[in-house]
Amino acid sequence: MAFIRSKSFLLEQVQTERRRLDQNLDRMDPAEMLLPGVVGEWSVKDVLAHLAEWEQLFLGWYQASLCGEIPEVPAPGISWKGIDRLNSRIYEKHCARSLPEIRSEYHIAHQKFVERLQSLSEEELSVPGFYRWTGNATLGQWVSAYAAHDRWAKTHIRRWIKTRAL
């Protein structure tokens, strides 16, 4: 994970990547968002559910740390090597839900994520291991990974749109 300069830099990064992703979503028809194939079998709806769930995971880890707990990251019983298993669980949890539900959750989760980011101090964001669940990384590095997650989603969605247009 790279060095992160400041909270304002992180906020700009997170908001810019989400805005770019949303601009692509705004050009899509809702029926199109339900078609599989964006990331493996996932539809755009599934990708949005994935992003929302990961932001909620972050908020849960942060909240647990405020209560003096050390959350199991990324999930209880799952290590980073088992990330595909966790992502499959996330897909299964949300795949039957409606697009309006997922879009609402996607926006609400991101709003809460940004609000939490705004409330964090520079120290919380820049000191490696400030929260034990971050390991040797800074919380800012973890936050930056969420901007990269949105960029990943945007890239896959744009690529999928282009292949459908051919």
pLDDT at 123: 95
Identify the CA nearest to 146 among candidates 42, 37, 16: 16
The tens digit of pLDDT for each residue in 42-96 reads: 999 999 999 999 999 999 999 999 999 999 999 999 999 999 999 999 999 999 9
Cβ contact 137:145 at 8 Å: no
**Which CATH architecture best describes the domain 7-165?**
Up-down Bundle (1.20)
Cβ-proximal residues to 130 (8 Å cutoff; 6+ apart), any chain: 123, 124, 138, 139
Stated pTM of the model: 0.95
The helix/strand/coil state of 38 is coil
Identify the CA nearest to 143 among candidates 154, 156, 131: 131
The tens digit of pLDDT for each residue in 135-165 reads: 999 999 999 999 999 999 999 999 999 998 7
4 pLDDT band, cuts 50/70/90, is low
Higher model confidence: residue 166 or residue 114?
Answer: 114
Spell out the domain ranges in the chain: 7-165
